[in-house]
Amino acid sequence: MVEATWFIEGNDVMAGLYLGIDLGGTLIKFALLDDALIPKGHLELPTPVQKGPDEVIDMMIYGARKLLHQQGVSSSDLSGIGVASPGPIDFETGTVIAMPNIPGFNDIPLRARLADALGVETILENDANAAAMGEAFCGAGKNADILIMLTLGTGVGSGIIIDGKVLRGCHSAGAEIGHMIVEPNGEPCPCGQRGCLERYSSAAAVAQYARRLIENDGRQSTLSKILKKHGDIDASQVNDAQIAGDELAKEVWDRAMYFLAIGCINLARLFDPEVIILGGGMAKSGESLINPLRRYFNELHWTLTEPKTSLELSTLGSKAGVIGAAVIAWKTFGK
């Protein structure tokens, strides 16, 4: 009791810390932010996917304690924990309904498990929403009233932040920008629709389309050699090839940029955001992504006004989710 009082009144550095945890299929990331949203420490641990949910949760608790210890603080210095998780979440009960990459991680009351173990109030959020919150408060979208983040990876993840709040929708099914239809009767999507944005502009879609043109249509490309050697190609190899002048790679990359621009124009028409931020694996291609995207965006955009929404690369990179998780804790449990 006395010690707690001493911490709060006598040492501001110790009070008002927020822990973010980003639970991914490969890594669990941890980040500590203070009350001014200044990063105070960061840690990454492997996700023990094969060992099941209990071991995964134990690793989250272990990592949280380890980071706190490294920073010379304890869980009593935390004002809240935010956890970013992929897959569907029941926000009311704080339950992870399913984790696509962790077998058996179904209907796990993750919020209560962590809060009980660490003795700190905890909140769950979808990882794409968390990444958007991270960029909104600590990254490329600082001070934006409306910010949209697209994470270009296996799919197109997305988060929409309006006035500092995540747009979640009436049935927790909003902000699924990857499933905006950008080509009626277009590419079939596992979701059951056709022509979803993520069938054109995700890293996976880029690689798949290149492969299809080579394997099914017998098209010539420098990518054929990589495909033969490794049995697969990825989006960054397509980008390398298109930079080197490969015609097929240029066509594939161009298609992804074209439909991504259509998607961004639609977001500008509907939300009129300050900024649309591009993150995820494909954003590592930097100018190869942002330059043609901006070009198509400007070219296909209405002429009633100049484009006002800016398109920017993520500045937090792979840390957007974990920082955003801590930001959500700060928003929820801070004064």
CA gap 71, 99 in Å, rounded:
30
CB atoms closer than 10 angstroms to residue 46: 9
Of 32 and 189, nearer to its own copies (C-beta) is 189
Least distance to its own copies from the beta carbon of 133, Å? 17
Q: Where are the beta strands (DSSP E) in the chain?
A: 17-23, 27-33, 39-46, 78-85, 89-90, 95-98, 106-108, 122-126, 146-152, 156-162, 165-166, 275-279, 310-313
Least distance to its own copies from the beta carbon of 252, Å? 17
Q: Which of 73, 71, 51, 52 is nearest to 118 (CA)?
A: 73
Of 65 and 168, nearer to its own copies (C-beta) is 168
Contacts with its own copies by CB under 8 A lie at 144-146, 160, 162, 167-177, 179-184, 189, 191-194, 258-259, 262, 265-274, 300-305, 308-309
Of 21 and 276, nearer to its own copies (C-beta) is 276
Of 5 and 303, nearer to its own copies (C-beta) is 303
Least distance to its own copies from the beta carbon of 267, Å? 8
Cβ proximity of 313 and 149 under 8 Å = no
Of 84 and 180, nearer to its own copies (C-beta) is 180
CB atoms closer than 10 angstroms to residue 87: 16
Cβ proximity of 91 and 124 under 8 Å = yes
Which two structure tokens, joined as six digits, stand for 36? 């001014």
Least distance to its own copies from the beta carbon of 130, Å? 18
Least distance to its own copies from the beta carbon of 262, Å? 5
